[in-house]
Structure 1
Amino acid sequence: MPGPAQEAGAAREDGPRRRVLADLTPLRSSPDYRRLWVGNTVSWVGQAMTALAISLQVYDLTGSSFSVGLVGLFSLVPLVVFGLYGGAIADTVDRRSLGLWSAAGLCGLSVALAAGAFAGFHQVWFLYAIVALQAVCAALNAPARSSMIPRLVPPEQLPAANALSSVTTTSGTMFGPMLGGLVVGFWGYQAAYLLDAVAFSAALYAMWRLPSMRPDRKPGERPGRASVLDGLRFLATRPNIRMTFFSDLCAMVFAQPRALFPAVAVLWYGGDARTTGLLVAAPAIGALLGSVFSGWLGRIRRHGLAILLAVAGWGGAIAVFGLTRQLWLGLLFLAVAGCADTISMVFRQTMLQAATPDEMRGRLQGVFIVVVAGGPRLGDFLAGSAGDLLGPGLAVVGGGLACVAAVFGLGLVWRGFARYDSRHPTA
C-alpha cells in the first residue's frame, strides 16, 4: 500500500489537473450516480439525433424555416404545462418510478417515429404530434431525474456533478447531430429514429437500478400535498433564483439560431444535411470542452456575476456567427457560444440546488426545465419567424445583440445578483 508520502505526492500531482479538468469524484464515489450519468449520456445522443432528424424531415417536407420553428412551438406548450406539473408530481411520488415510466414513454415515441418512417407515412402533423408527446414525457422525466442528484452525491460535490451533467447534454448534442446527419444522409430518417429507441435502453436500465427515492417532507405534511402554486410562491421570494431563470431566457429566446441552421447550411455554405449536423453540433463541441476543462469553476465564488458574463458571451458569439460566411469560422464562434453556455448552466444549477429544500426541489427543477427546455423552443419559433421575414443573417445578428442588451439590463435592475457569493448563498 502507498505510504503517506506517496499519497501526498499523488495529491499534489492531481491538484493541478483538478484545477483545469472536470472533477470525476461523483462518478467514483456513487455507483447510482455513475449508472444514471452513463444512461443519460447514451440516451441524450439518441434524443439529439432524433431532434435533428425531425427538423430535417420537416424542412424536407415543407421547405420552410417557419415550419421548422413550429417544431419548437409544438413542444413549448406541453413543456410549460407538464414541466411545472411534473415538478409537483416529483415532490409527491417516488422519483425513481416517475423517471422510469416517463423514459419508457420517450422510448415508445421513438419507436412510433421509426414505424411511421418505415411505413412511408410522411406527414408534418404526425411529426408535430410526436414532438408534443415527447415534450410531455420529457417534462415529467427531467424534474424527477434532476431532483435525484442532491440525494446521490453530497453537497460539496454538486458543482462537479452539474459540470458532469453538462458533459452529458453537450456530448449528446455534439455527437447526436453529427451521427444524425450521417445516418439520415446515408440510411434515411427511419434508421435515426430506430437508433434513438435502442439508445433509451441505457437510461431505462439506470433508472431501474436506482433505489426508491421518495421526497423528504416537512413535519406533518401528508402525501399528495405538493402544489405548483406553492413552488411558484417559494420562487417569488427568491430573487437570485429568479434571476438565473431570467438570464437564461435572454440567451435562449433572443439568441437561439437553431431553427435557421437548415436554411443557413444551404444559403450560406452550400451544404446539406451533414452541414446542418455540424452547425448543430458546434455549440455542443464548445460546451463539451467547457465541461471537460471545468475544474477551475470550483474556485469561482461570484456565481451571479459569472452567469451574467457568460450569457453576454453567448449572445456576442452568436452575433458574430451571423456575420460569417466561412463554415470553419462560423463553427468556431458557435463553439465559443457553447462554452459560455456551459459556464452559465453550471452556476445556475448549483445556485438552484444549494438554495432549495428537498421538498421543493421537484417543483423548482420543473421551473428550471421549463426555462431550459422551453426557452430554446420559443427561441426556435422566434428565429424561424424572423428568418422568414428578415432573412437568416439579420435574424441571427439581431438576436445576439438583443441577448447582450437584455442581460446587462437585468444586471442593472437586480444588482444584488452580481454580488451573490457561494460561500454565503442567499436565494
Structure 2
Amino acid sequence: MKSDFYAAISQIAAERGIPRESVQDVVEQALISAYRRYLGSNPPPVDVKIELEPNTGRIRVYAEKQVVDEVMDDRFEIDIEDARNVRADVEIGETVYVESTPDDFGRIAAQTAKQVVLQRIKEVERDHIYGEYFDREGEIVTATVQRTAKGNVILEVGRAEAILPQKEQISHDNYRHGQRLKVYLMEARRDDPRGPRLVASRTHKDLIKRLFEMEVPEIYNGTVEIKSIAREPGLRSKVAVHARQEGIDPVGSCVGMRGIRIQNIVNELNGEKIDVVQWGADMRVFIANALSPAQVVEVHLDEGEKTATVVVPDKQLSLAIGKEGQNVRLAAKLVGWRIDIKSASSLLEEERAAAEAREAAASEQMLQEAALSTAKVETRKVRVDSLVTYQGRQYGPLPVELIGEEVALRAAAQKLNIYFNDKLIASYIIDDEAGDSDETDTEA
C-alpha cells in the first residue's frame, strides 16, 4: 500500500494542476533546507542529498563527510574505518556520502519545511500556469476583464493574469467586469522580480494582423499576405494586402461576402474603421490605393526625398486629406513616404504662376541683354587692393592676379559688369548714391 505521504503529494499535484514530480522535487528541496537548519548556525559547506521513498514515506538523508583519523564533530566528519564500510578505497582527507538521517527527522522536517514547501509549491504552480504563455508572445489570447487598478485593467487569461496598461488601452473602450475580449500578448516575462508577468495590448498594430489571420483563411494559409499596417487605435486603420497566387482578389478575400469578415474585426475593435487596400510594387499605384476612398488623378514622385505629390479632383480634396488629416497621415505611414495633396485647380494655378514667373524672368533677361549691347564700355586698371573705381565708388575685390591689369566696365539696369579678355568676371549692384566724379584710370 502506498503511504499517506505519497498520497499527500499526489493530492497536492492534482489540486494545483502541476506534475507530481515537481511537487516531489519541492518537498526534497524543503527537506534539505530542514536538515541544514538541524546542523545549526553557520555550518561548514556540506553537500546533502535526500532519498524520498513515496511508497513507504521513508526519508533518508545522505550528507557529505570528510574522512579523518580522529572524529571531532560527527556531523561533518567520519572515521576512516567507518568510511571504508561505505567505500573501500577511500583515503583520509577525501569525502564520502553517509546516511545521516537524524532521529525523529520526520517531525523536524514537518515543522521546519512546511512554509518552504508551501512557498515553493506556489512558485511551481505559478511557473506551470504561466509557462504555456511564455512561447505565445506576439499572439492573440482571449481574456476576461477582472478589475481595474490604478488605471490598468487586470485580465484573466485561463488560470493566469495579464495586465493591460493604460497606454495599451483603446480610449473609447469600456472595460466591464466579466467582459470577454481579444488582446495581443505583447510581453511575457519570466524573470520579473514580482513573478511571471503577462502584458497585453489593444492598441498594437499587430493585433489587426492577428485578427485578420483568424478571420481570413487566405491570410492564415499564406495565399494573401499583409504587406503593411498603419493604425490610429480606436479610430481608423489601413491594411495593405497582396495576393501571392494568381486569380485571388486580396481585398475581396479580406472583406468577405457582404463584408462579414471585415465586420467581425470591426466589431471586435468596437467600431474602429478599417480600410483594406491593394499593395503595389509600383509606388505610384500603391500611393493612389493607400489614399482610398479618395480618387487620385496623378502621382509625382521625388525618389531622393521619398516625397509624393498627389493630385486629386477638387471635390475629392477633403476626402483625400480626411478629418484632421487622418486619411493622408495613415496613407503616408502605410507606404513609408511623405505625401503632399493638391487639388487639380490649385496645381493648375501653381503651374500658371510658375509659367508667368519664367516668362517674366526671360523678359527681364532680354531687356538686360539689350541694355548691355548698347551700354558704354569703359576701362579701368585694377588697384593694388584689387578694387576698381566707377563713378566715385569702389567695387571688388577682384582676383589678385588682375592687379595692374585693365578691365572693361559696362553698366546697365543698375548693375556694373566687369570683363577681362571679353569674359565676365564679376557683377555688382550700382550704388545710387554714387557721385558724379569719375576716374578714367587708377595707379597700379
Q: TM-score, normalised by structure 1?
A: 0.18
Name the structure with the higher helix share. 1
Higher relative contact order (CA 8 A, sep 6+): 1
Name the structure with the higher strand share. 2
